[in-house]
């Protein structure tokens, strides 16, 4: 553990000359891109189009849980100076156990890559009529450019680029709600937890998988580590205070955008044939509300795919480095993980179905990241006086149990045909 972190844990304060709080904000906004990826768009649009306001409560609950989870991830990186995969890599002594854990984490990261490349391909097809395969290749090429910014220019320039894309995403996905507002009574009714059959449970798991993304948990601890490693003149307490603001801003943006996507679909696409796909939703928005809303929606989807795919590649590389102690260039990893996404596009598999199913895969990977995160951040020998309070650990355990039970219910419904 870095010496500066150890001194702060023991109560020794470092120099008081510090940058303003605003300059410490950024890692959560980058990690928060994971909550605005094309998988989120597909899951929330499908939920709104098929079930109206029914699953509003899932989006809200998922965002609340995401705040806690992302803060714990960032706290681990700030206090220990290590990412979650690095900490687990040290503590998992059994070589085969560590490899098995790496394999499931890497598969989750690959599912993320698939969703993001497919989303970018669909957006380019909607905007310019490009074939999906070519759109996927272009999305991958642009994501490689973004990764080069991170690897050559450092954390902050990468943050600025991603935050700019987040602004485009926010405008693209929220504009339609102001043009065609949702029903307030429907929103209130949607806050009551309930399901309507197997498909609604599947979509709920998909929304949670898209909202609480395992690779974002791994990535945020690494982003906080990289961003704050150079801030040797700032106390850990101040860094954590800045982190809470960072996570709050990021989750407010992500939660608002995700909710707007679902509300836009619920208010304008509920019951409209063919709107359970991104292409159908785009056409319905264009015909029902106007071309401006539809174009902005497609632009937001494109920015979503470009931004989130670079963060996904960053997470995958960190997972491999932390657990297997192998570091490969981000660009090479991006090239390798492009293959499954391009293969899906090449065989003509329905892109919206692929996006939704990828989010279900992510949902099943959540406990493997969340349970160790809650356990590790509660350990005094690891985080010292910054370990979780009892109520924080209890909230983390409750979130873990909820997600595991939901996934179990999903399996039971799917395999029993209930």
- Positive or negative: CA dihedral 47, 51, 52, 53: negative
Report the alpha-carbon distance of residue 173 to residue 22 in Å, rounded: 26
Average pLDDT rounded to a whole number, residues 376-403: 92
Report the alpha-carbon distance of residue 66 to residue 52 in Å, rounded: 23
Report the alpha-carbon distance of residue 32 to residue 74 in Å, rounded: 12
Report the alpha-carbon distance of residue 123 to residue 135 in Å, rounded: 8
Average pLDDT rounded to a whole number, residues 246-259: 91
pLDDT score at 11: 40
What's the count of helices (H) and strands (E) in the chain, helices before strands?
18, 0
Q: Whole-model pTM?
A: 0.84
- Helix, strand, coil % over all residues of the chain, rounded to 5: 80, 0, 20
pLDDT score at 4: 41
Smallest CA-to-CA distance from 26 within 158, 210, 213 is with 158
pLDDT digits (tens, 9 = 90+) for 16-64: 344 455 566 778 878 877 778 777 787 888 889 889 999 999 999 989 9
How far from each other are the two terminal CA atoms of the chain, in whole angstroms? 51
Asked if residue 112 lies in contact with residue 333, where contact means CB atoms within 8 angstroms, the answer is: no
Asked if residue 70 lies in contact with residue 250, where contact means CB atoms within 8 angstroms, the answer is: yes
Report the alpha-carbon distance of residue 127 to residue 282 in Å, rounded: 10
Q: What angle do CA 274, 277, 283 make, to 5 degrees?
A: 65
Residue 39: exposure state from Cβ atoms within 10 A (0-12, 13-18, ≥19) = buried
Report the alpha-carbon distance of residue 182 to residue 201 in Å, rounded: 23
pLDDT score at 403: 80
pLDDT score at 13: 37
Lowest mean pLDDT: which of 151-165, 209-223, 247-261, 329-343?
Answer: 151-165
- 316 or 7, which is more confident? 316
Asked if residue 367 lies in contact with residue 402, where contact means CB atoms within 8 angstroms, the answer is: no
> Residue 234 — φ and ψ, nearest 5°?
-120, 135
pLDDT score at 73: 94
Report the alpha-carbon distance of residue 134 to residue 1 in Å, rounded: 45
The pair of three-digit structure tokens given for residue 310, joined into one six-digit string: 């670079």
pLDDT digits (tens, 9 = 90+) for 312-339: 777 888 888 898 888 777 677 777 778 8
The pair of three-digit structure tokens given for residue 311, joined into one six-digit string: 């963060």
The pair of three-digit structure tokens given for residue 20, joined into one six-digit string: 């303003």
pLDDT digits (tens, 9 = 90+) for 73-117: 999 999 998 999 999 999 988 889 899 999 888 888 887 778 788
pLDDT digits (tens, 9 = 90+) for 169-222: 888 889 989 988 999 999 999 999 998 888 888 888 778 766 777 888 998 898
- 376 or 223, which is more confident? 376
The pair of three-digit structure tokens given for residue 300, joined into one six-digit string: 């937001």
Report the alpha-carbon distance of residue 204 to residue 198 in Å, rounded: 10
Report the alpha-carbon distance of residue 358 to residue 138 in Å, rounded: 21
Distances (CA, A) of 31 to 2, 25, 193: 23, 12, 28
Domains assigned to the chain: 20-370+388-416 (1.20.1740.10)
Average pLDDT rounded to a whole number, residues 147-164: 73
The pair of three-digit structure tokens given for residue 348, joined into one six-digit string: 């003509």
> Residue 72 — φ and ψ, nearest 5°?
-60, -40
pLDDT digits (tens, 9 = 90+) for 124-154: 999 999 999 999 899 888 877 877 776 776 6
pLDDT digits (tens, 9 = 90+) for 115-129: 788 888 988 999 999
Q: Is 326 left (phi over 0), alpha (psi -120 to 50) or beta?
A: beta
pLDDT score at 6: 43
Helix axes 214-228, 155-179, angle to 10 degrees: 130
- 22 or 341, which is more confident? 341
Asked if residue 255 lies in contact with residue 61, where contact means CB atoms within 8 angstroms, the answer is: no
Report the alpha-carbon distance of residue 6 to residue 348 in Å, rounded: 54
């Amino acid at each position: 553990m870095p010496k500066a972190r150890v001194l702060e844990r023991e109560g020794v304060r470092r120099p008081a000359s510090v940058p303003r709080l605003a300059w410490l904000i950024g890692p959560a906004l980058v990690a928060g891109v994971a909550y605005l990826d094309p998988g989120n768009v597909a899951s929330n649009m499908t939920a709104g189009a098929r079930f109206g306001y029914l699953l509003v409560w899932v989006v809200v609950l998922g965002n609340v849980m995401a705040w806690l989870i992302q803060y714990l991830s960032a706290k681990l990186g700030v206090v220990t100076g290590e990412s979650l995969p690095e900490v687990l890599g040290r503590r998992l002594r059994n070589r085969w156990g560590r490899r098995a854990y790496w394999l499931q984490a890497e598969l989750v990261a690959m599912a993320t890559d698939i969703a993001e490349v497919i989303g970018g391909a669909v957006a380019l097809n909607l905007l310019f009529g490009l074939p999906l395969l070519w759109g996927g290749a272009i999305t991958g090429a642009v994501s490689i450019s973004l990764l080069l910014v991170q690897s050559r220019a450092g954390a902050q320039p990468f943050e600025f680029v991603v935050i700019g894309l987040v602004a485009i995403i926010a405008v693209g996905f929220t504009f339609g709600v102001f043009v065609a507002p949702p029903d307030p009574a429907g929103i209130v009714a949607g806050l009551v937890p309930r399901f309507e059959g197997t498909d609604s449970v599947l979509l709920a798991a998909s929304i949670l998988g898209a909202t609480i993304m395992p690779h974002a948990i791994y990535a945020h601890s690494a982003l906080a580590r990289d961003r704050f490693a150079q801030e040797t003149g700032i106390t850990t307490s101040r860094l954590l205070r800045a982190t809470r603001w960072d996570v709050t801003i990021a989750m407010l943006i992500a939660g608002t955008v995700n909710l707007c996507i679902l509300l836009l679909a619920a208010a304008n696409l509920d019951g409209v044939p063919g709107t359970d796909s991104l292409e159908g939703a785009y056409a319905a928005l264009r015909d029902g509300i106007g071309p401006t809303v539809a174009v902005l929606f497609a632009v937001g989807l494109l920015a979503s795919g470009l931004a989130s795919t670079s963060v996904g590649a960053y997470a995958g590389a960190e997972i491999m480095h932390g657990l297997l102690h192998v570091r490969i260039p981000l660009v090479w990893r991006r090239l390798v993980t492009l293959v499954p996404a391009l293969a899906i596009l090449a065989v003509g598999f329905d892109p919206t179905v692929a996006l939704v199913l990828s989010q279900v895969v992510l949902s099943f990977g959540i406990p493997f990241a969340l349970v160790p995160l809650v356990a590790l951040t509660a350990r005094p020998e690891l985080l010292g006086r910054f370990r979780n309070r009892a109520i924080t650990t209890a909230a983390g355990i409750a979130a873990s149990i909820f997600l595991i039970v939901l996934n179990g219910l999903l399996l039971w419904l799917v395999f029993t045909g209930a």
